[in-house]
A and B are shown apart, each in its own frame.
Chain A
Amino acid sequence: MTIHAEHITKRFGDFTALDDVGVEVADGSLTALLGPSGSGKSTLLRIIAGLETPDAGRVVIGDEDVTNVVPQERGIGFVFQHYAAFKHLTVRRNVAFGLEIRKRPKAEIRARVDELLALVQLNGFADRYPAQLSGGQRQRMALARALAIEPSVLLLDEPFGALDATVRKELRVWLRRLHEEQHVTTILVTHDQEEAMDVADQIVVMNHARVEQTGDPREIYDHPANEFVMGFVGPVATVGDELVRPHDVDLALEPAHDHSEAMVQRIVHLGFEVRVELLLADGSLVSAQITREAAEQLELARNQIVYIRPHRTRSFAAAV
């Protein structure tokens, strides 16, 4: 099911959460709303879900204008950052909730819940209470609960935000696989650019109540529309007036005509890569990221003089 949010504006008192925002989501795709906290991404998701009412604009799901439709009738599944587990119900009853509300036959509910618990790998946990599950398990339960009602649209509000880094990465891979199997149109809100790049087909970068750029992960990374997007989706170094990704800074031991002189301040070993922090002649600092192999060849040491050449630089001076 496609989702269109058009000219959405939302204020909370004096604070403008969304300022004339538009988002289009293709049928069966996985779109990430990416931005820092306070950028309006969660508010937009909640408006699409019907949990908030926009001051202006409209929301269309499929062919239907749902702007004034209550969340109960939007055919959505919603997953909250803090799980919103029904604490007094077992895992089975949590997942069954939407089906019980729809008064489906008991046998059908049982079968469907078993199927969903297998899908989210919680088979053995049906009779436990949410308090007896880990964070990652709770969130998988919440996902099964949302999927139980066969929503036409799945909305995830920072679903992995409360989990630790390892579990987050695991669930991310798992979510992507699930999406490939189920093909439910999905919107994921996140402030983690790596997460957005990892799972999404389309990324909507938001900042200060506005959409900064919409595109696929590669487009956003390689052709950022402005300085904010460039800085938000990856590391950035500044050389003069120009912005460059640290891995696009070449290092050499011998000077060449377009190289500038720099002194090595610090060498940080990140595993496969090495980050070299450099001091330029004009006093500014630049990081370069190179492979370990390249670093070994250069035999870098502290206070050594090297020559750098940034390539694929960008300048947004006119836009700012």
Chain B
Amino acid sequence: MRSKLVRYGVRFVALGYLGALLIAPLVLIFKDTFAHGIGPVWDALTEVDALHAAKLTLYAMLIAVVANTLFGVAIALYLARRKGFLATVLGAFIDLPLALSPVVVGLALLLVFAQTGWFGPWLNEHGFQVVFAFPSIVIATAFVSLPFVARELIPVLREIGEEQQQAAATLGATRTQTFFRITLPAIRPALTYGIVLTAARALGEYGAVAVVSGAIQGQTETLTMMVARDWNNFDQTGAYATALLLAAFAVIVLIVLNLVKPAHERQEAT
């Protein structure tokens, strides 16, 4: 009897926690967005600046995800299998984007790429505008979402060990064949999760991108910045609608990656 009470108590606390932190705010955003019907929401989302911001956010996210997936897999393979000074230092640096406040990241990127920074003048001479333009958004987004794939993969790769790879080698498989036939299937669940985290972080990035992009409406404004601007301008419907769009993107990423996984497993089962 008592254990039953405890069990229900634990469930109640867990659900209450989830409800207060996650579900209630999401439901409220949804409710407030459509407070005046679907018309104003549609108008807010199809406005030229909103479409531009959505496009910018998606492109930055896609580039950051691709770059960090490739980099993350490579660095995880290295860090999981090597020991020594370089690996230790690299392992510590990988986590830097998690530890640093995004605003600091933005300021640091300005120091490197702005007109007065290290590379800024050189890049400008060669016709590259980084700061206050699309490249800076990509760089900032990639920076803050860098560790997730690597961090998800390293423990899994350590757990698997190298014997399967060595067995594949003795059976005649090249490194590339071994990676695609043996390593990748083994790390796929962790990789999927790492990509979801990367994408979510990239979509949601505000601080670093706001500093380096200048948040110029219709030019370098991403969805998160647009939410902030709408809110500051007392455009509640606009802010809520944009916020909902961001949430929708995140859900789509989750769904797409979940669709990819079972399809592959079905193929293997046959």
Q: How large is the interface on A (under 10, 10 to 19, 20 to 34, 35 or more residues)?
A: 20 to 34
Chain A positions 55 through 89: 1 when the CB is less than 8 Å from some CB of chain B, otherwise 0: 00000000000000011111011101010111111
- Say whether, besides A82-B163, A86-B164, A87-B186, A77 and B268 are in contact (CB < 8 Å): no
What are the residues of chain B within 8 A of A71 when measuring CB–CB?
A: 166, 169-170
What are the residues of chain A within 8 A of B167 when measuring CB–CB?
A: 78, 80, 84, 86, 142, 145
Q: Which of A101-120 contact B (CB under 8 A)?
A: 101-102
Shortest C-beta distance, B263 to chain A (Å), equals 15
What are the residues of chain B within 8 A of A51 when measuring CB–CB?
A: 166, 169-170
B168 interfacial contact with A, CB 8 Å: yes
What are the residues of chain A within 8 A of B177 when measuring CB–CB?
A: 101
Q: Which residues of B are at the interface with A, using a C-beta cutoff of 8 A?
A: 163-164, 166-174, 177, 181-182, 185-186, 268
What are the residues of chain B within 8 A of A232 when measuring CB–CB?
A: none
Partner of B172 from the list A86, A101, A142 (CB cut-off 8 Å) is A101
Q: Which of A259-309 contact B (CB under 8 A)?
A: none
Compute the total of residue contacts between A and B using a CB distance below 8 Å: 59
What are the residues of chain A within 8 A of B172 when measuring CB–CB?
A: 72-73, 98, 101-102, 149
B174–A72 CB distance below 8 A: yes
A-B contact pairs, 16 of them (CB 8 A): A51-B169, A51-B170, A70-B169, A72-B169, A82-B163, A89-B268, A97-B168, A97-B181, A98-B171, A101-B171, A101-B173, A102-B172, A145-B167, A145-B171, A146-B171, A149-B172
Q: Which residues of A are at the interface with B, using a C-beta cutoff of 8 A?
A: 49-51, 70-74, 76-78, 80, 82, 84-89, 97-98, 101-102, 142, 145-146, 148-149
B182–A77 CB distance below 8 A: no
The docked-state distance in angstroms from the alpha carbon of A127 to that of B16 is 45
What are the residues of chain A within 8 A of B164 when measuring CB–CB?
A: 84-87
- Say whether, besides A88-B185, A88-B268, A76 and B163 are in contact (CB < 8 Å): no
Apart from A73-B172, A88-B185, A149-B172, 5 more pairs, CB < 8 Å: A50-B170, A51-B166, A51-B169, A86-B164, A101-B177
A49–B186 CB distance below 8 A: no
Shortest C-beta distance, B167 to chain A (Å), equals 4
Shortest C-beta distance, B173 to chain A (Å), equals 5
